[in-house]
Structure 1
C-alpha cells in the first residue's frame, strides 16, 4: 500500500450503508478506518485479512461517548498521518410522538446523530487544515426537508446536520476542504424493516422513479462528492424524487 493512499474515516461502518461505504472506499484503493459498538462477522473477516491494519482499521466505539469518538480520530491520525475523507454516517433512528418520547431517548439521539458528528469532524479537521485539502460528507435524511408524524426529534438532528454542513463549508473552503451532505430517502435498511408491504407500496407509488433508492445509489453519490472539489456546502437529496 502506497503511503500516499487516501485515508478515509467512516463512522458506523460495520453493517448496512456504512459497510457498503467501507467496501467501496477499500475497492477504490483507500485506507479505511471505521468504528462501531461491536464488530460483527464482516468486520472480523476484514481484520483477519489485514491483521497489521495497513488498509483497514476498526475500533469498538460507542458514538454516544464523545471522548471515545475524539480519541478514535486522533488514533487514526497518529496511525496513518492524516485523514483525507470523513463520512459522518453513524446514527440512530428515533420514532414516536414528542410528548411520549422519554428525555433520555431524545438526549441519546441528539448525541449520536449530531454531537458525535461535530466532535468527529472537529478532530478530523486538524489534519485536513494542515494539509489544506479534504472532503467531509454528512449523512442527513430526507426527513430533514420533509415533515413526518412521529419523527420530530430524528428530523431535528438530521436538519441540524444540513445547517452544520453549510456553515462549516464557508469556514474551511478557503483551506481547500469541501463539506457536503446527502439526504437519503427511503432505502432498504434497518430503519425501514418495520414497514409493512402496504406501507412500502404506498411509498413507491409516491416516488416518481417508482422504486426505493438503493444502497448502491447512496454509495455512488458519496463517491461523486469525494471525487469533486467544485461542490461544497450542498445537500444532495437521493430519494427517487419522493421529496419533489
Structure 2
C-alpha cells in the first residue's frame, strides 16, 4: 500500500523540500497551494516512483479545507500523513500593525492548521492510523520583535499539537510539531548582509539551516510511531 501524504503550502521553500523528499522515497505526495502549482515546480518531480498530485485550495477557509481533504479521499481513498506547512508573515511593530495583518496571519498559520486537522481527523480515525505534523517556528518559542502576529500563530500551533495528540493517540494517530529556526529560503536570500550577520550572530552553530534538514526531521517523525505530542526544535541551538 502506498501511503498518501498531503502537504499544505508545498509550492516552494520548506514545503517543497518536504514534498520532494517524501516523493523520492515512494509516498503518494499531494501538493497544495492557493493557486495551481507551476510547471517549473512539477518538473522537479519528474523522476519520482509515484507521480505527484496537486489539490488547490485556501486552508484558511473552512469549506475549502474540507474540499481539499475530500478531493484527496475521493482520488486515493485515504490520507495517511498531513503536514500543515502553509504559512504567511505580515511583520510590523504592534503599535503600527493593522488588524487585518494580525487576522490574516492567524487565519492562515493557526486556523488553517485547525481546519485541515478538523477535516482529516475523521478519515484517520476510520483508518485507526495517521500522522499529523504541524510546522511551528522557533519564534513561537522565544518570540521576535516585530512578529507578534507570527509568534502568536506559531505558539498556538504548539498548544494545538499537544491537545490533539491527547485526543487521537488511542487510535494510533500521532501529532507532533517541528519548530525550525532560520532556514535558507527565498525569504532569507532577500535579506541584507547586515541583517543576515545579525541573525547568524544569535545562532550557536553559526549558519542558517537547510530546508533538507527540516525534511529529514519530517521523515523521522513519520517513521517514529512512538512519538506524539512533541516539539522538535531544528534551529542550530538558537533556543537552549
TM-score range, shorter chain: over 0.9
Q: 1:182 aligns with which of 165, 174, 178?
A: 178
Corresponding residue number in structure 2 for 1:18: 15
Relative to the length of structure 1, the TM-score reads 0.92
Give the unaligned 5+ runs of structure 1. none
Runs of 4+ in structure 1 off by over 4 angstroms are: 46-50
1:30 aligned residue (27, 39, 61): 27
RMSD: 1.8
Q: Distance in 2 between matches of 1:172 and 1:64?
A: 23
Task: Select which of 85, 96, 119 maps to 1:100.
Answer: 96
Q: TM-score, with normalisation over the residues of structure 2?
A: 0.93
Alignment of 1:147 with 2:164, yes or no, is no
Q: Deviations over 1:71-94 (max 9, x none)?
A: 011110111111111100001012
**Alignment partner of 2:131 out of 104, 129, 135:** 135
3-state DSSP of counterpart to 2:95: helix
User: Which consecutive residues of structure 2, in runs of 5 or more, have no partner in the other structure?
Assistant: none
Aligned to 2:38: 40
Q: What are the Cα deviations for residues 108-149 of structure 1, in whole angstroms up to 9, with x where unaligned?
A: 111110111111111111111111111100000000011211
1:64 Cα shift? 3.0
How many residue pairs end up in the alignment?
238
Tell me if structure 2 keeps the 8 A contact 1:14–1:42: no
Query: Is the Cα–Cα contact under 8 Å of residues 45 and 51 in structure 2 kept in the other structure?
Result: no
